[in-house]
Amino acid sequence: MSLIDQIDRNRVPEHVAIIMDGNGRWAKQRGNQRIFGHKNGVKAVKAATEAAGEIGVKYLTLYAFSTENWNRPKSEVDALMGLLVDTINSEMETLLKNGIRVLTIGDRSMLPPDVQRKLNDVIVRTASCTTITTVLALNYGSRLEITEAVKKIAIDAQQGKLSAEQITPVTISDYLYTANIPDPALLIRTSGELRLSNFLLWQLAYTELYFTPVLWPDFTKDDFFKAIIDYQKRERRFGKTSEQL
Ligand code: IPE
Ligand code: IPE
Ligand code: MG
């Protein structure tokens, strides 16, 4: 039986998040520059998006550039930004045709102006697409996100829009970039690294974690389906006993 047929369509995670890692190592293994790995990673982005759409995942969040990634060589940062613009340009029609809405999380104001314009463009043009929402995490860092949320909460409290007693975990979720997006049910990280790297620290509180040694440019639709099958074998207890479920 093919992998996709082993998936229980009634228990597909509504939101899957992916830390797309291993592009640099993939390129190095081939004696190439790191950017060669990033370019080949675009194919895996397309594969993951298609696979997610096929089984009915509603949100796919992709960690594409972290707040820490600015510390990489400028040539690599520039190449990544260029690749982002090129990919949006080449994929725009496919996004619209397949009903893929694009959103971002992270501080876009620090991205180069042409990247910001291109992102605004794709966000506006895909706004009414309903098959799947792809959330690109760009200049995203969980600690920055939480810090910004706390600042906004403090300002609203100062202005009397909110009182300290009213603040609940839901309030905090509502002030994050991910307001209105359900928490991920499944997180996938490729390349064998076993860490979160400042990704969705609040939102992943009860997420199932899946790690694979596959380097991101090698990640296929079947790799995505394998992660879903693994997820479906797990029992999500949320603190309860097995008998209570
Ligand atoms: C992930 O691959 C892509 C980004 C972080 C932009 P890496 O570039 O981190 O690849 P490795 O981890 O060096 O192999
Ligand atoms: C995390 O990968 C960020 C993205 C995938 C965009 P990194 O490769 O930057 O993570 P670390 O630095 O190895 O933890
Ligand atoms: Mg990496």
pLDDT tens-digit readout, 107-160: 999 999 999 999 999 999 999 999 999 999 999 999 999 999 999 999 999 999
89 is annotated as an active-site residue: no
Residue 46's pLDDT is what? 98
Number of independent structural domains in the chain: 1
Given ligand 2 and candidates 69, 142, 214, which is best to mutate, with the most ligand atoms within 8 Å of its CB? 69
Residue with tokens 């440019």: 217
Structural domain contains residue 77: yes
Residue 211: which CATH number?
3.40.1180.10
CB atoms within 10 A of CB 175: 19
Range of the domain at 19: 11-141+183-232
Q: How close is the Cα of 90 to the center of ligand 2, in Å?
A: 25
Any ligand 2 atom below 6 A from CB of 21: yes
The sign one gets for the Cα dihedral 153, 157, 158, 164 is: negative
230 tagged catalytic: no
* CB crowding 217-231: b at 16 or more within 10 Å, else e: bbbebebbbbbbeeb
190 within domain boundaries: yes
Query: If you take atom 8 of ligand 2, which residue's CA is the nearest one?
Result: 21
Label residue 63 by pLDDT band (50, 70, 90): very high
| 153 within a domain of the structure (yes/no) | no
3 inside domain: no
In tens, the pLDDT along 161-214 reads: 999 999 999 999 999 999 999 999 999 999 999 999 999 999 999 999 999 999
Task: State residue 73's pLDDT score.
Answer: 98
Distance CA 175, CA 148 (A): 8
Torsion over CA: 218, 222, 224, 227 (sign): negative
User: E strands of the chain, at which residues?
Assistant: 15-19, 59-66, 100-105, 132-140, 186-189, 208-211
Report field, pTM of the whole predicted structure over 0.85: yes
Instruction: Return the residue whose CA atom lies nearest to atom 1 of ligand 2.
Output: 197
